[in-house]
Structure 1
Amino acid sequence: MTMVSFIHVAFILFPCFLSLRAEEIKSSEACEFPALFNFGDSNSDTGCMASAFYPEVLPYGETFFHEPVGRASDGRLIIDFIAHHLGFPFLSAFINSIGTSYRHGANFAAGSSTIRRQNRTVFEGGTPFTFEIQTQQFSQFKERTGKFFTQGRKNSFRKHFPRPEEFAKAIYTFDIGQNDIAAAINNVGKEDSHAVISDIVDYFANQLRNLHGLGGRIFWIHNTGPIGCLPVAMPIHNAKTNVTPVAGYLDQNGCVNYQNDMAKEFNKKLKNIVVKLRAEFPDSSLIYVDMFSAKYEIISKANKEGFVDPSEICCGYHEDGYHLYCGNKAMINGKEIFAGSCDDPSKYISWDGVHYTEAANRWIANKIINGSFSDPPLPIAHSCRAQ
């Protein structure tokens, strides 16, 4: 090729290069989410159950908020760190009617929530706020807030709610399923767990379809964590286990294998349904986030990361076969016991045996927001680019 020919080809290709470069820059820009809507259970409940039933008591909330704020932790949850990373204020629970603003989204998550309906009352550890109810609440929220704009309400009303056109541009996050798996574990031997897990995932998919029908387009979906690694699941804290577990019952980190195996089965089927929904909704972005691996990593690296043994519980009394959960009082062996917190929650992974400390939540959030545990591997701030 002569020099003249080379220059001619380069001149022709240069605009194409600029066009490709522009597309590359455009695709690397962060998404401009106007709002965040969250659905889930106690892992992301920022005040629903506390507003609806009994408020949390100290020492819940002591680390960051210095008072109970409806979160099942000593401080912030993963959803709080996600909101901060995206530039949003803390999400208000949908039913929290005092001093709330929903301008940048709302939180429909509620403690004890499940994807499927459960035959339990609130006093039996159940909740009326199933995933189906949460999506219905969102539907009502969207419809009613839309009226503030279509009916010409004053700006004093409008400033507290998302604009109608912003629902399609918002990000929708999900962290639910752990309580469904816990219910399935409790019924091992009584029902076909494989069929139950498939049913749970189908329920989840149907609710995502409902949200898509309501305008949702960007979905950030957490799978469920290693439930067999929750300290209350471990034999060391389980009063029902009075003998040494047989070989293979526990893994190298003391987690209960069969419980984690059920979580893994749920996660595998959840990922498969997410792939199916991508084909159904080519106009949408669906990100699958492997929370199981992120949470298992902090558990397996606890000492290296500056935490105490992951089986240790910061808040509560779990000795001599007694379970007294965080913030409660009881007479045990003739002595009044208050289930208070540890001296330094930042050294613990488990806050109350079921939920994580703020320190652990921060560690996990920092791992997932950059896309390291996502499929496709996009940071959350770029998750609208998965279409």
Structure 2
Amino acid sequence: MASSKSQFSSLFFITAILLVFLTIFRPVVAAACYARIFAFGDSLTDTGNFLQSIGDFPDPVRRLPYGQTFFGRPTGRFSDGRIIIDFVAEALGLPFVPPYLAGRDVEYFRHGANFAVGGATALNISFFEEKGIDVTWTEYSLGVQMGWFRQLLHLLSDESDRGDIMSSSLFIVGEIGGNDYNHPFLRARSLDEIRTYVPVVVQAIGSAINDLIKLGARTLVVPGNFPIGCVPLYLTVFQSQNKEVYDQQTGCIKWLNEFSEYHNKLLVEELYRLRKLHPHATIIYADYYGASMNIFRFPHKFGFKTSLLACCGSHGPYNCAPSILCGTKGSSVCAEPSTYASWDGLHLTEAAYKFVASAVLNGPYAAPSLSETCPTIELNDAQILYSNQCSE
């Protein structure tokens, strides 16, 4: 009897210790709010799909100085280091999101997949062909990326667990739409014409969000467009002798920023409509425009020596010339990328992306902020710095 009682006590003790061990040392992902991230978009979110899609074509993005700051090598990211999706993954305790086109088996996508492709548009290329625009960019539009996601979802799950996978994942839909305007703007199409594209672009984004929610998505982050009037490439192409064109505080081109604001206004209205249609889903608007404008208004306050010059580029008033791209012969790189907002004249530096990611993760440039929807989110130094400086 005593022996049996002793055995029971020992078993109870071992079980209790095991439970404590599992509680303390369980994997980070198990304790996280989201088990995986699925992302869609263009070069602002791409982590390698563009390079996978072009094979051995010698694009500048496949060589240094791209990737020099964090990875020490080019990874297919259009920056010197990490981009916004990387900082979101880090804050959620998840690995960097792998590019879909680099996947080899289901295990590769255990923590999610990134479908974004550099140069991608929200609208299918047939839209631009009908407008008489010569399509020279990737064919992997948002619709194609959604098709990839459906294929992967079928491989990752069956009908019995598909709902669990969808509800436990974070979906980042964008940024997308910028290239729908970049391509025609840089082909000298008129502002009046391109403004007519905006409702169609927003409708395409809304349709993708609606489809994801119908498939079971419960939490979606939908970024707006950046202020293109502050982008060195646009500042170079649309230079003007008329001082009234420029914002006196930032030096950005006002009419181009007003265009970005128009896109974001319609996108916010579309998200409001979708929230009413799907009250069970959390749709977060990520205000990339508002967050990044802080850099352009107060660069020195946030550690940037310059906000309108490209770190990697060539001759010109904004260190940017369309004929000499970053990473090509004749280009040069600044000594301290972390003090520049623009990396290559079109994309941001890791430092600027980190700043914007912080504003979305911790607020106030997301409604709601990700930290509100995920109590276990880990705030890094940049997020704490951003919060403290903006509260001064």
The total of aligned residue pairs comes to: 331
> In 2 relative to 1, CA 88–141 (structure 1 residues): closer, same or farther, beyond 3 Å?
same
Check 1:70–1:95 CA distance in 2 against 1; reply closer, same or farther (3 A cut): same
The alignment partner of 1:287 has SS state of strand
Residue correspondence of structure 1 range 204-283 to structure 2 within 5 A: 204-234=205-235, 237-238=236-237, 241=239, 244-283=241-280
Cα distance in 2 for partners of 1:182, 1:69 equals 24
Q: Distance in 2 between matches of 1:125 and 1:254?
A: 31
Asked whether the 8 Å contact 1:31–1:383 carries over to 2, the reply is no
TM-aligned CA distance change 1:316 to 1:280, over 3 Å: same
For 1:3, the equivalent position in structure 2 comes to none
C-alpha separation in 1, matches of 2:374 and 2:73:
34
- Structure 2 distance, partners of 1:134, 1:368, is 24
**Change over 3 Å in CA distance of 1:163–1:280 after alignment to 2:** closer
Instruction: Tell me how large the CA RMSD over aligned residues is.
Output: 2.8
How many percent of aligned residue pairs carry the same amino acid?
A: 32
Q: Does 1:70 align with 2:76?
A: yes
* CA distance 1:103–1:378, change in 2 (3 Å): closer
The CA deviation string for residues 191-213 of structure 1, in whole angstroms up to 9 with x for no partner, is 54443211111111111112122
1:329-381 alpha-carbon deviations (Å, 9 max, x no partner): 1xxxxxxx2x2321111111110001111111112211210131122355265
- 1:58 CA displacement: 0.7
Q: Is structure 2 residue 141 aligned with structure 1 residue 142?
A: no
Provide the residue aligned with 1:85 in structure 2: 91
Q: Specify the alignment match of 1:12 in structure 2.
A: none
> Which AA in structure 2 matches 1:42?
S
What is the correspondence of 1:178-217 to structure 2 with a 5 Å cutoff? Answer: 178-183=178-183, 185-186=185-186, 188-189=189-190, 192-217=193-218
State the distance in 2 between where 1:178 and 1:380 align. Answer: 28
Matches within 5 A, 1:97-176: 97=103, 101-118=108-125, 119=128, 125-146=136-157, 165-174=164-173, 175-176=175-176
Q: CA, structure 1 residues 217+113, in 2 after alignment: closer, same or farther (shift >3 Å)?
A: same
Match of 2:79, SS state, is: coil
> In the alignment, does 2:56 pair up with 1:57?
no
TM-score w.r.t. the length of structure 2 is 0.77
**TM-score under structure 1 length normalisation:** 0.78
1:7-54 deviation digits (Å, cap 9, x = unpaired): xxxxxxxxxxxxxxxxxxxxxxx9721111111110110000011114
The equivalent of 1:328 in structure 2 is 328
SS at match of 1:311: strand
Q: Which amino acid aligns with 1:44?
A: T
Q: In the TM superposition, what whole-angstrom CA distance separates every residue of 1:279-332 from its partner, at most 9, and x where no partner exists?
A: 111221111111100011112111222212211111121338954111111xxx
CA distance in 2: counterparts of 1:42 and 1:73, whole angstroms:
9
**1:58 aligned partner, one-letter code:** L
The answer (yes or no) to whether the contact 1:218–1:286 under 8 Å persists in 2 is yes
Q: Specify the alignment match of 2:15 in structure 1.
A: none
The change in CA–CA distance for 1:291 and 1:75 in structure 2 (over 3 A counts) is same
* Alignment partner of 1:342 is 2:334: yes
Indicate the residue corresponding to 1:368 in structure 2.
360
Task: State the partner residue of 1:332.
Answer: none
Amino acid at match of 1:101: Y
Give the AA of the match of 1:216: A
Contact persistence 1:116–1:200 (CA under 8 A): yes
**Structure 1 Cα separation of the partners of residues 37 and 184 of structure 2:** 31
Q: Are the structure 2 counterparts of residues 312 and 89 from structure 1 closer, same or farther at C-alpha, using a change threshold of 3 Å?
A: same
1:155-190 Cα distance to aligned partner (Å, 9 max, x none): xxxxxxx97622222110122121123245456537
| Residue 312 of structure 2 corresponds to residue 315 of structure 1 | yes
- CA deviation string 1:207-259 (max 9, x = no partner): 1112122221211111111011011111xx33x64x51342344421111111
In 1, the alpha carbon distance for the partners of 2:321 and 2:193 equals 32
User: Structure 2: how far apart are the matches of 1:65 and 1:128?
Assistant: 28
Q: Is the 8 A contact 2:299 2:305 kept in 1?
A: yes
For the residue of structure 1 that corresponds to 2:300, the secondary structure is coil
Kept after mapping to 2: 8 A contact 1:218/1:383: no
Report the counterpart of residue 95 of structure 1 in structure 2. 101
Paired letter, 1:316: G
Q: How far apart are the structure 1 equivalents of 2:279 and 2:304?
A: 43
Please, which moves more after superposition, 253-262 or 191-200?
A: 191-200
The answer to whether the 8 Å contact 2:360/2:370 transfers is no
1:32 aligns with 2:33: yes
Distance, in Å, in 1 between the alignment partners of 2:82 and 2:104 is 20
| 1:17 match | none
CA distance in 1, matches of 2:49, 2:162: 23
Summarize the Cα distance change of 1:383–1:313 in structure 2 as closer, same or farther, 3 Å threshold: same
